[in-house]
Structure 1
């Protein structure tokens, strides 16, 4: 992914009010992000940990989606699967993220949700740049996994937009 400016990120958010976008806190270490290893920019807001953001380059520009989740609670011994990157994690490391739909549907309270890596670091997991605690069954190459991630992420973004 090519680096994004703070203004590009803020302008990209499609499902939040202007005041919510203004209050958005960029990820810790924003200036040192490993952009070349990211398929999308995903982070939990350091000032509002139940809030997160997914920002992705798509045809026609950049689209950002604000998502929210609840605290995951105590660690459990079961495994869960991220719907975006298909990486297995302990259940407490997977979270249900919900996004208000864009436009009129969102103003009416309609949402979409999916299970995602709780730290929103899917790109780093599929490339082996972040350690996993659960054995993985997927033997596809990082490039293939990145293509699959891009497809699933596009599907989620489309659900927010439509």
Structure 2
């Protein structure tokens, strides 16, 4: 679970952002008013530059965020794809390849990491949505908890990997 972060803390958390990117990026109001105690990360797409996305999570030493770049091409909508963070299967055109420049010297040398993510970066919501139950089906509360914990772990690993 995350503690509430201010706009200044969010801006300071980015491990792979240039000064120009930090100056340009727009923090949507809804990010500041989310129910922080329910989340393990916050993510959003830039409203002005749709190819940009942002992901912030809490690592052992504090908040860490990464700037993401969406690929310009999408997969065929007639196929299915799985997000590498939330493991939600969706139509392929709702999953996008995002890349993140690594932090530090590796990023300055052009090294980056790529992964497939929900196009709208809604992973936190997706793992918390419950599929409708079939008749006489019983919901397993542990399954939802495992999905949430898995997302939290994979998100921290991804951000830590970008940070280097």
Q: Which category of TM-score, normalised to the shorter sequence, fits these structures?
A: 0.7 to 0.9
- Pairing of 1:131-150 with structure 2 (within 5 A): 141-150=143-152
Q: Which moved more, 1:148-157 or 1:121-130?
A: 121-130
Q: Deviation digits for residues 118-139 of structure 1, max 9, x if unmatched?
A: 11110100000799xxxxxxx7
Q: Match for 2:155 among 131, 153, 157?
A: 153
CA RMSD of aligned residues (A): 2.2
1:27, 1:107 → 2: CA distance?
28
The number of aligned residues is 155
The structure whose Rg is larger is 2
- Point out 4+ residue stretches in structure 1 off by more than 6 angstroms: none
2:68, 2:115 → 1: CA distance?
10
- How far residue 27 of structure 1 moved from its aligned partner, in angstroms, is 2.6
1:135 paired residue number: none
1:51, 1:68 → 2: CA distance?
5
* Structure 2 residues without counterparts, runs of 5 or longer: 133-139
2:109 paired residue number: 108
Q: Which moved more, 1:8-17 or 1:145-154?
A: 145-154
1:26, 1:42 → 2: CA distance?
10
Q: TM-score, normalised by structure 1?
A: 0.86
- How far residue 108 of structure 1 moved from its aligned partner, in angstroms, is 0.7
2:102, 2:152 → 1: CA distance?
20
2:44, 2:131 → 1: CA distance?
15
- How far residue 87 of structure 1 moved from its aligned partner, in angstroms, is 0.3
2:39 paired residue number: 38
2:50 aligns to what SS in structure 1? Answer: strand
2:4, 2:25 → 1: CA distance?
18
2:24 paired residue number: 23
